[in-house]
Structure 1
Amino acid sequence: MSDPSTLRLKHVLGWSTGGLATAVYLGITMNYFLYFLTEGAAISPGFASVVLLAPRIWDVITDPIMGAISDRTPGRMGRRRPWILFGGMLFSFSFYMMFAIPDFDSEMARGLWVMFFYLLVGTAYTMYEVPLNAMLPELSQDFQQRGRLASYMMIVIRAGLIGTMLIGPFIFAATEDLAVGFRQVGLFAAIVIAGCSLVVFFTTQDAPRTEFKPVKMNVLSELKALWGNKPFVILVLVHLVKMTGIGAAATTVIYYLVFALKAPEQAAGVILSIYAAAATAFIPFWMWVMARVGKKMAYSYALGFLILSMLPLLFIGPNTIAGSFSIPYVEEIVSGGVVAVAIAMIVVSFGDSGSILVPNGMIPDTVEADELKTGTRREGTIFGAWAFSRKLGMALGAYAVTVFLSQTGFIAGAAEQPEQAITGIRYVYVLFPCTCYLLSIIILHRYDLTEEKFKSIVSDLASRDEKR
């Protein structure tokens, strides 16, 4: 078992730095990837939906398998670190290649190129991220300390999102050819990802870790056993539904700003970075709420606030606030509606901050619940399934956006869109996510792993270990 006394600052900082690669990946794929497909690669929304969703089918296989492999990897480097290094390098290479589309005349050829490397990116990201997250319950077995570790990681991810959301549009909009601009975005991301994997690998060399216990690998049996872990199943279902809403909102936001509010692309980057910065600033508050009322209630509060704060965005138009304004780092003048959205999104970020932070502090607690029931620690399998639920939710959300765009007459590559398409953008940006968040609250009501119950589980495990 891991020993909390051996956890040092360099381990916490090094492990948390790994979240920066996650931030770059999420910031680009969630907010700008569909925009790259339709506006940079000139791929229709219908075909783009296939490009986005097909690789997620592969994740059904790779995520749980990677978790199981990670749990069973022997060696003096530990179970997780070799995969973080190798997966990180492949992640870096494939991410760049995804945006480096050759000059194909065929839309089919462009789409297949992106889809192949997007699939490879997803596989490599799984190899990197599942072991990285599986290290959390090994670093500490203390209920509150795990919440703090998750908070540190979340701060890094949020800081990375700020930079990615801000820098991304300035890079891809710096040239008239969006395809060239996005290739430069891919290069920037590849460098960051490779650097993060090296930092994590070298700083966690002597970090706390659980001992490897050879167990015959049977992924289907392990996944079946996970369904008997009620707290885990509920959290995964909540996460899947919530991430579907977040995936839809994140994918649509640049369309909402550019087409519904007539904002320049660079302004979208500034607004998104303000949003991420505000969400980061609210993390300490949600840490306090978790400690005060418990993780389940904190999660419910965050989702509820997210619903209430997003609804006004449905009604904001270019002239909601009269006049024109200038935004730092943006050459073009923007409408008052863009300023109104920037203010509203700061409010939204309050709920978003808690809805992302809290569940990442809850999922490690299901490891012990699973161990008590099965007699085996399976951090990798659990976090593999957790990663899959997030990626599938993001993909389903993005897919919902492509369906809305296709059904409402969105024209890929056109500077002006029909009014029906703009209405569709508003609905899929606000109403669809809010519906997902409401369903998440309803499912979360059945979660029952409290701090007291967790401490009892840890005590039972300790007693069982003493008898062996």
Structure 2
Amino acid sequence: MTGTTPVVSQRAPGTAAPVRALSRGERVSFGVGGLATGLFTTVPGLVLLYYLTDTLGVAAGLAGAVVTIPRLLDLVFNPLSGRLSDRTAGRWGPRRPWMAAGALLLPVTFVSIFWSPFTGDVAALWVGLAFALSGAAFSMFIVPWSSLPAEIGPDAATRTSMMSWRIVFLALAILLAGGLAPALVEMFGDGPSGYRSMALTFAPVMLVAMGIATFVGARRSTRASVATAAETGTLREALRAVRASRPLRSMFVVIILCEVAASVALTGGPYIADHVIGSEDALVPIFICLVAPLMLTMPLWSRAATRWGKRPALQAAAAVFALGAGLLIALLFVPDAAKLPVALFSISVMGTGFAGTSMLPPAMFADAVAYEARTVGKRRVGLLTGASNAAETIAGSIGAGVYAAVLSLTGFISSEGVQVTQSTTARLGIVLGVAAVSVLVVSGVILVLRRYEMVEADIDQLGSPSRTDTATT
């Protein structure tokens, strides 16, 4: 670490570097898990609020509470999953038993979210409970899975590579969710039956992706668990470590802000397509324009991070995201014929920035956790990662909740699958709920990063493996 913190060149007692670098196959297999986690976070983030308000007829304010409150339980689920996986010992290592349990439970609970036998405000109870149960299953998988880069990644370059593959599959998940989810709902009869069939289609994909990540991508964690320190920090110690470490503190805030911006953008997509552009069919090209730049520019952001450092690369990505969000305001002024082209161009710019704001914060957090683990010598990677994931998932729900609040305040009218003509004020809220909120949030990212001091080379000096063992990005 730079500044007043000295960098030492010896490993903390009881730790050891991985004996060899991760192969490309291992890094890709780790990243495949992003397909499952991306589907779970993107599909509800994209359609759950819309499903509640425009299919089940739940009032917008109550629907916002449904998508927000259950995720607050992640404050319990995620740190608990991380702490339990830190303390687990056995032939499978500390991470894989919990990943396997989550892989089995999550597809079932995911389907139950869209299997409500009720309509109206009563449906909010069913969906809320199912969403909470799916959050617990999700924590079982994502926390130990997200711990792997800090635990088995031998250097900053490998951790960046692992996160790059994670975002590649996340982008594929967004493409599947944004491109296929609405089409599947319509193909299977629209309404509640369409959403049920859509969920049943995605559930096996999630199961297979999590299985690959568990049994191939995480196999090195079995050996890594032997090399890490046996002592496990408590939750209080972990929170104390976050407070005492500026990099950890900064990355917590950055991850929250980036996730709020992403959630607002994803949640607003169906509303912009249906009520501003005036066509539900516009949703597919909108999400293609979000995902295509995400996949195409990912190597560029990775190279920028390697050449200039992750902090300036992330600041640039946040600025690009804000630019694209700000351009959406033009939808309020252009004629109807120009709305779709303007939306697609603006979202393409957002997608370019989204690539960097999705990949770089977790990679930087993994660097900070690796530094903390190697200097302190306690196995609490899972605990710290669980706290980070809790913050991330709650931030996603907060983003959806904020957007729902904007809709409610500007007079949005909910319906049970019947097309409703929204007022001018409601359409204003639909656009500004994405544009203004996103610009404000990602501007906060740029400001927070001004005081971030972690340098990747500093972590690598703490017992980094030999150069011959270093994986390439």
What is the TM-score with the length of structure 2 in the denominator? Answer: 0.89
Q: 1:233 aligns with which of 237, 240, 249?
A: 249
**Contact kept? 1:67, 1:384, Cα under 8 Å:** yes
Q: 2:306 aligns with which of 288, 291, 295?
A: 291
- Residue number in structure 1 paired with 2:208: 195
Equivalent positions of 1:341-380 (< 5 A) are 341-380=343-382
**Contact kept? 1:25, 1:189, Cα under 8 Å:** no
Q: 1:40 to 1:144 in 2, by over 3 A?
A: same
Cα distance in 2, alignment partners of residues 149 and 459 from structure 1:
17
- Identity fraction in percent: 24
String of CA shifts for 1:170-190, please: whole Å, max 9, x gaps: 011225542111111211221
Deviation at 1:409, TM superposition (A): 0.9
| Equivalent residues, number | 444
Cα distance in 1, alignment partners of residues 229 and 459 from structure 2:
23
Q: 1:204 to 1:278 in 2, by over 3 A?
A: closer
String of CA shifts for 1:424-443, please: whole Å, max 9, x gaps: 11111100111011111111
Q: 1:258 to 1:3 in 2, by over 3 A?
A: same
Q: 1:454 aligns with which of 451, 455, 459?
A: 459
Q: 2:429 aligns with which of 415, 424, 431?
A: 424
Q: Which has the higher contact order (CA 8 A, sep 6+)?
A: 2
**Contact kept? 1:260, 1:318, Cα under 8 Å:** no
**Contact kept? 1:101, 1:113, Cα under 8 Å:** yes
- Residue number in structure 2 paired with 1:445: 450
Deviation at 1:385, TM superposition (A): 1.4
Q: 2:91 aligns with which of 73, 76, 95?
A: 76
String of CA shifts for 1:391-422, please: whole Å, max 9, x gaps: 11111111111111111111101521111111
- Residue number in structure 1 paired with 2:133: 120
What is the TM-score with the length of structure 1 in the denominator? Answer: 0.90
Cα distance in 2, alignment partners of residues 455 and 203 from structure 1:
25
String of CA shifts for 1:14-61, please: whole Å, max 9, x gaps: 222111101211221221111111112211111112211211221111
- Residue number in structure 1 paired with 2:272: 256
Equivalent positions of 1:170-189 (< 5 A) are 170-175=183-188, 177-189=190-202
Cα distance in 1, alignment partners of residues 234 and 369 from structure 2:
18
Bigger drift between 109-118 and 413-422 goes to 413-422
String of CA shifts for 1:299-334, please: whole Å, max 9, x gaps: 00110121122212111259547xxxxxxxxxxxxx
Question: Which ranges in structure 2 are unaligned for 5 or more consecutive residues?
Answer: 1-15, 466-473
When the two chains are superposed, the root-mean-square deviation of aligned CA atoms in Å is 2.0
- Residue number in structure 2 paired with 1:435: 440
Deviation at 1:154, TM superposition (A): 1.2
**Contact kept? 2:268, 2:434, Cα under 8 Å:** yes
Cα distance in 1, alignment partners of residues 27 and 441 from structure 2:
33
Equivalent positions of 1:139-158 (< 5 A) are 139-158=152-171
**Contact kept? 1:368, 1:377, Cα under 8 Å:** no
Bigger drift between 208-217 and 373-382 goes to 208-217
Q: 1:459 to 1:342 in 2, by over 3 A?
A: closer
**Contact kept? 2:231, 2:379, Cα under 8 Å:** no
Bigger drift between 28-37 and 197-206 goes to 197-206
Q: 1:131 aligns with which of 144, 149, 155?
A: 144
- Residue number in structure 1 paired with 2:413: 411
**Contact kept? 2:232, 2:378, Cα under 8 Å:** no
Please say if 1:49 is aligned against 2:64: yes
Deviation at 1:6, TM superposition (A): 5.3
**Contact kept? 1:159, 1:277, Cα under 8 Å:** no
